[in-house]
Amino acid sequence: MLLIAPTGGGKTLSGFLPSLIELADAPADGLHTLYVSPLKALAADIKRNLRTPVEEMDLPIRIEDRTGDTSYTQKRRQRADPPHILLTTPESLALLTSYEDAPRMFSGLQRVIVDEIHALQESKRGDQLMLALSRLDAISPGLRRVGLSATVEDPDAIAKTLARHPDPCPILYADPGPDPDIQMLVTQELPPWSGGGAAYSIPAVLEQVKKHKTTLIFHNTRAQAEIYFHNLWLANDEGLPIGIHHGSLAREQRDKVEAAMVRGELKAIVCTGTLDLGIDWGDVDLVIQIGAPKNVKRLVQRIGRANHRYNAPSRALLVPANRFEIVECVAALEAVKERALDGEPKGAGPRDVLCQHILIRACAGPFVDTELFDEVRTVGAYADLSRAAFDDCLEFCATGGYALRAYDRWQRLMLRDGLWHLRDPRAAQRIRMNIGTIQDTDTLKVRLKGNFKPLGEVEEAFAATLSPGDTFLIGGEIVRYENLKEMTVQVTRRADKQPKIATFLGTKFATTTQLFDRILAMFQQPDWPQLPGHTADWLALQRKVSKMPERDRILVETFPHDSRSHSVFYSFAGRNAQQTLGMLLTQRMEDLGLNPIGFVATDYATMVWGLDEITDPAPLFDASSLRDGFENWLSGNAVMKKTFRASATIAGLIERNLPQARKSGRQATFSSDILYDTLTKYDPDHLMLRITREEALRGLVDFGRIEEMIARTEGRIDHVTLKRVSPLAAPICLEPGRVPIKGEGRERLAEEAAAKLLDTAGLADNGKDKRRWGGPMLFYG
Amino acid sequence: MNTVDFQLRGLTLTALPSGALWDATHRALCVSDLHLCKSDRIARRQGLMLPPYESRETLDKLAADIEATHPQMVICLGDSFDDLAAAEALDDDCRQTLTQLQAGRRWIWIEGNHDPGPVELGGTHLAELQLGPLTYRHIAENAPSGEVSGHYHPKFALPGAGAARPCFLYDDRRLILPAYGAYTGGLRAQTPVLRDLFAPQCFAILTGRKALLTRLP
């Protein structure tokens, strides 16, 4: 059964009512109800909210949570003596099903409650969860499933995912409640042309914080949250109690903030998606969204944080960080008013997740392939899985699935007497350590020097850019990078006002198609009365010095910037498609001798820079050469390698976590890109490459939207040559996530850089040094 | 050819873009850290089944360099196999390639820390080799004079020019070769344990499409 109710409607507790009644009427030992939520914090939160009434009514019901944060002893005890109600996450559940005693633990299970199922459904975590449920269903037939979802645009799709295939799934709708009260924050200061910091809004936001009981200040990325929090504190003359909460902070720090919030001690919390889902603590009466909400569904969720009184409208303020985001915010506001929730359709069950499921199943003990196949097919997303496709995955798990059968001696799974089992039972530990489908970039812990307690985490790629002495923000404080010791970033505290390096990476969200159509329609208005004056002026200036992008044309702007020629292609196809377009365009440019060096993609445009200027963009968009290029390009590009890495990790080809902490001797490890290249060359039909291609086409490369864009624009290209960056292009110049192109242009740069280093040695080309001690001579034959 | 010539102890050497070293005077080709059969060792020890094609890839690359230089002697500078047991896992196809490559020339396996003993694959096994003014050994020693070694898998990233590439490192006393094998990572040339082996004045030759000479900061 699926219950759809707006956030704040009390749907979570209602999901537990049948369990509480059954357990009160007929107390029995063992696990009765399993609650699964996408967030650890949510499980902890529900535990608090559920225990209070249970203790007040003096019911003999034990409620515990189990997540990656639960202690080892507690986890052991839970397996030996499970509580009546266990609150957990998809990953922890998958791990539980991997133990040999899983059948004993789950044999009496009556109900499973999946909370915030709309959020899980968007990712592979949902697929993994449903596979785990198919296992539980086999252990405890007749298990009842309840899904709890916020308002969604396609409830039937979620119902199909939730229910055991082909069972029906009734859907219950709760009253959606009054319309939320959302406005754009009016500030004295003008928002900047570009950038994502929104520092201009700090005084106005502080005013709002003072006027309300508790304010949640949402950001789209962790880096933005850190910078904003820092600036907020610098301006917080009255010392208002304000906290910060996001996913890369250490657990102790998050716990502290959560506890303070529950006690009502905080006036405001600066946060990211970790607080995005239905966590219900304290008297939040205002939600502020910094930066444009990239999709409307997320915006509505966040607004739901405010004012958990069901019959009063929620109050929210949008704070666009720059002028382009003002346009996005206005478009999003219109969408909320029209209750037009957006979302992307979901494809068939991914096979890398299935491979992991097979390995997890093998950890739990020997299995019969036919039985597992039948079980998997009860999952809605895998209902159409063919036996051949299943066998491919099984073969991959067992032997690696290579054309060259090199692993007969070291097979992972062996078939004996009709049963599949692990060749080496010790492998189970390694498989368990790598359960999960969340593909975070690799992160490193950050620690104060001489202190054991971690401050939080930063991405490995960010850590690699640091030199000793660099300062950056973490947990709202400025720290100085000292060194990297045993894969931990060691830092010291600094009292500086501004960090030298302001940002680390962070999650990027893609804007949805619906929002684009609204934005493009808005661009065509003769004037913009619904936009603030400065933003209308900005668009007017764009119209004056260049052109407004149109739905059925491609606008190309070319201008010099940073001593390189830049071209911006506005085609509004979404970040993934724009990224693919960047790859294809730079490949065409390489063929045409234009020496591209790199590109960056945003949701609405791709910017390419290179050594030579584009004078005629039309040949770049020739549909047939783009299409030819696509096939050729697909196998060799960086996006595919990234996708391969993610899928290969999920499928168990490579490991993310090793039994011992990673060694610091890095020459022993090598990049998964090498594996991708080798497979492509020697085993192009290998399952992992087929999965990679499928995954990439599913979203990351989005060639479909490029085809659609080419068809829509039919070669209508407007090329504008400018002396400097255009108003609309300014935000793109600051966009992170630049992709380098490895071509002739970069080869030339490498040669220049190499020669420059030689020059500083004064040894570029003279023979004197050579005679003295055998210095270098250069030959490019 | 996109190669770089340089001198060590008065002998002219050529760095090939593949990561092999060519000594034209002695007609000797040297490659280091092939790590053949690495995937077999990983399967045996970690239970992971990586694409088992790295030996094929590495030997094909070596065959191309041999074809281009026609050496009288090939020196494999240690860690040619990921371990001694892995050497037995080399498939027939690769064995045949190796036999063909060995035909008509001296073939020397220098012992490495991964492969400290002889393998049953033809050629001569040595701890070190002296060739003209140069000593070939797997791991660099203190106070060398004309030493050629491997082991560290050096790599270097040019500022503003993309990812790190495997590289040769040399000063006036020693030379360290990049890892030649397909499944090998790298150690950044600035890492103290590696950088400290060299004088302040030290050069790197990057591998890739072209060999590229530069100076180490």
* Minimal CA separation from A451 to chain B, in Å: 25
Please report the pLDDT score of residue A679 as a whole number: 93
Class of residue A104 by CB neighbours under 10 A (exposed 0-12, middle 13-18, buried 19+) = middle
**Residue A710: inside a domain, yes or no?**
yes
**Residue A511: inside a domain, yes or no?**
no
* Minimal CA separation from B9 to chain A, in Å: 7
Chain A residue numbers with beta carbons less than 8 Å from the beta carbon of B153 are: 667
Verify that A586 and A681 share a domain, yes or no: yes
Name the least confident of A100-114, A659-673, B57-71. Answer: A659-673
Q: Which of A402, A752, A770 sits opposite B51 (nearest CB)?
A: A402
| Whether pLDDT at A780 is above 50 | no
**3-state SS, residue A708:** helix
Backbone angles phi, psi at B122, to 5 degrees: 75, 175
Q: Do B49 and A410 touch (CB under 8 A)?
A: yes
Six token digits for residue B32: 């280091």
Verify that A18 and A59 share a domain, yes or no: yes
Length of chain A measured in residues:
781
Please report the pLDDT score of residue A661 as a whole number: 40
Interface pTM, i.e. ipTM:
0.90
| Whether pLDDT at B82 is above 60 | yes
Among the three residues A173, A196, A212, which one is the final residue of a domain in this structure?
A: A173
Name the least confident of A437-441, A616-620, A758-762, B211-215. Answer: A758-762
How far, in Å, are A107, A155, A435, B82, B86 from residue B42 at the CA level?
38, 46, 20, 9, 10
| Whether pLDDT at A406 is above 60 | yes
| Whether pLDDT at A774 is above 50 | no
Chain B residue numbers with beta carbons less than 8 Å from the beta carbon of A665 are: 187
> In whole angstroms, what is the distance from residue A477 CA to residue A764 CA?
45
| Whether pLDDT at A260 is above 80 | yes
Of A23-32, A468-477, A639-648, A771-780, give the range with the top mean pLDDT.
A23-32
Please report the pLDDT score of residue A777 as a whole number: 29
CATH number of the domain residue A277 falls in:
3.40.50.300
Q: Do B2 and A666 touch (CB under 8 A)?
A: no
Q: Which residue has the tokens 């990224």?
A: A579
Please report the pLDDT score of residue A131 as a whole number: 97
| Beta carbons within 8 Å of A690's beta carbon, 6+ residues apart | none
Residues 82 to 141 of B: which have CB under 8 A from any A CB? 89, 91
DSSP, res A510? P
Verify that A98 and A121 share a domain, yes or no: yes
Length of chain B measured in residues:
217
> In whole angstroms, what is the distance from residue A143 CA to residue A130 CA?
13
**Residue A766: inside a domain, yes or no?**
no
Q: Do A781 and B47 touch (CB under 8 A)?
A: no
> In whole angstroms, what is the distance from residue A153 CA to residue A533 CA?
34
Please report the pLDDT score of residue A465 as a whole number: 57
Are the CB atoms for B109 and B101 separated by under 8 Å?
no
> In whole angstroms, what is the distance from residue A82 CA to residue A21 CA?
19
A665-723 per-position pLDDT tens digit:
445 567 788 899 999 999 999 999 999 988 877 655 567 777 778 888 888 899 999 99
* Domain boundaries of chain B, sorted by first residue: 4-215
Verify that A332 and A356 share a domain, yes or no: no
**Residue A102: inside a domain, yes or no?**
yes
Please report the pLDDT score of residue A499 as a whole number: 66
> Is residue A760 within 8 angstroms of chain B, CB to CB?
yes
Chain B residue numbers with beta carbons less than 8 Å from the beta carbon of A399 are: 49
What number of C-beta contacts closer than 8 Å exist between A and B? 149
Six token digits for residue A320: 């666009």
User: How would you classify the pairing of strands B203-206 and B147-149?
Assistant: unpaired
> In whole angstroms, what is the distance from residue A413 CA to residue A396 CA?
9
* Minimal CA separation from B172 to chain A, in Å: 6
Q: What is the mean pLDDT of residues A117-136?
A: 91
Number of structural domains chain A divides into: 5
Q: What is the mean pLDDT of residues A322-329?
A: 82
Verify that A609 and A737 share a domain, yes or no: yes
A267-320 per-position pLDDT tens digit:
998 987 666 555 555 677 888 988 877 667 677 766 765 555 555 667 889 888
A471 pLDDT tier (thresholds 50, 70, 90): confident
Verify that A161 and A188 share a domain, yes or no: no
Verify that A648 and A690 share a domain, yes or no: yes
B128-155 per-position pLDDT tens digit:
999 999 999 999 998 788 999 999 999 9
Q: Do B47 and A669 touch (CB under 8 A)?
A: no
Residues 181 to 200 of B: which have CB under 8 A from any A CB? 182-188
Verify that A310 and A188 share a domain, yes or no: yes
Q: Do A758 and B214 touch (CB under 8 A)?
A: yes
Please report the pLDDT score of residue A781 as a whole number: 23
Measured between CA atoms, the residue of chain B closest to residue A741 is B162
Other CB atoms within 10 Å distance of the CB of residue B26: 16
| Beta carbons within 8 Å of A1's beta carbon, 6+ residues apart | A144, A145, A146, A147, A169, A170, A171, A172
Verify that A83 and A149 share a domain, yes or no: yes
| Whether pLDDT at A157 is above 60 | yes
Rounded to the nearest integer, the mean pLDDT of chain A is 81
Chain A residue numbers with beta carbons less than 8 Å from the beta carbon of B201 are: 761
User: How would you classify the pairing of strands A268-271 and A242-245?
Assistant: parallel
Q: Do B152 and A758 touch (CB under 8 A)?
A: no
Verify that A257 and A163 share a domain, yes or no: no
Question: Around A329, how many Cα atoms within 13 Å sit in the side-chain half-sphere?
Answer: 26
Q: Which of B47, B89, B215 sits opposite A758 (nearest CB)?
A: B215
**Residue A527: inside a domain, yes or no?**
no
Q: Which of A410, A430, A776 sits opposite B43 (nearest CB)?
A: A410
Are the CB atoms for B185 and B153 separated by under 8 Å?
yes
Q: Which of B10, B162, B210 sits opposite A780 (nearest CB)?
A: B210
Q: Which of B16, B50, B165, B207 to mutate to test the interface with A (most CBs of A within 10 A)?
A: B50
Q: Which of A679, A686, A754 sits opposite B213 (nearest CB)?
A: A754
Q: Do B7 and A669 touch (CB under 8 A)?
A: no
Please report the pLDDT score of residue B51 as a whole number: 94
Please report the pLDDT score of residue A12 as a whole number: 79
Among the three residues A710, A727, A742, which one is the final residue of a domain in this structure?
A: A742
**Residue A105: inside a domain, yes or no?**
yes
Domain that holds residue A452: 443-493
Q: Which of B2, B48, B213 sits opposite A758 (nearest CB)?
A: B213
Name the least confident of A32-46, A130-144, A247-261, A586-600. Answer: A247-261
> Is residue B212 within 8 angstroms of chain A, CB to CB?
yes
| ∠ CA A704-A705-A708, rounded to 5° | 90
Pick A176 or B45 by higher pLDDT: B45
> Is residue B8 within 8 angstroms of chain A, CB to CB?
yes
Six token digits for residue A293: 């909400």
Q: Do B57 and A775 touch (CB under 8 A)?
A: no
Please report the pLDDT score of residue A764 as a whole number: 43
Verify that A122 and A233 share a domain, yes or no: no
A58-96 per-position pLDDT tens digit:
888 999 999 877 888 999 999 999 999 999 999 999 999
Among the three residues A136, A155, A173, which one is the final residue of a domain in this structure?
A: A173
**Residue A424: inside a domain, yes or no?**
yes
Verify that A187 and A126 share a domain, yes or no: no
| ∠ CA A383-A387-A391, rounded to 5° | 120
| Whether pLDDT at A505 is above 50 | no
Q: Which of B33, B53, B91 to mutate to test the interface with A (most CBs of A within 10 A)?
A: B53
Alpha helices in A309-459 (DSSP H): 323-337, 351-363, 369-376, 387-399, 427-433
Q: What is the mean pLDDT of residues A551-561?
A: 91
Chain B residue numbers with beta carbons less than 8 Å from the beta carbon of A682 are: 51, 53, 56-57
| Beta carbons within 8 Å of A245's beta carbon, 6+ residues apart | A254, A257, A258, A269, A270, A271, A272, A274, A275
Peptide bond before residue A166 is cis, with ω within 30 degrees of 0: yes
A64 membership: H or E segment, kind and range: strand A63-66
Q: Do A742 and B49 touch (CB under 8 A)?
A: no
Please report the pLDDT score of residue A637 as a whole number: 64
Q: Which fold has domain B4-215?
A: Purple Acid Phosphatase; chain A, domain 2 (3.60.21)
| Whether pLDDT at A206 is above 70 | yes
Residues 428 to 467 of A: which have CB under 8 A from any B CB? 430
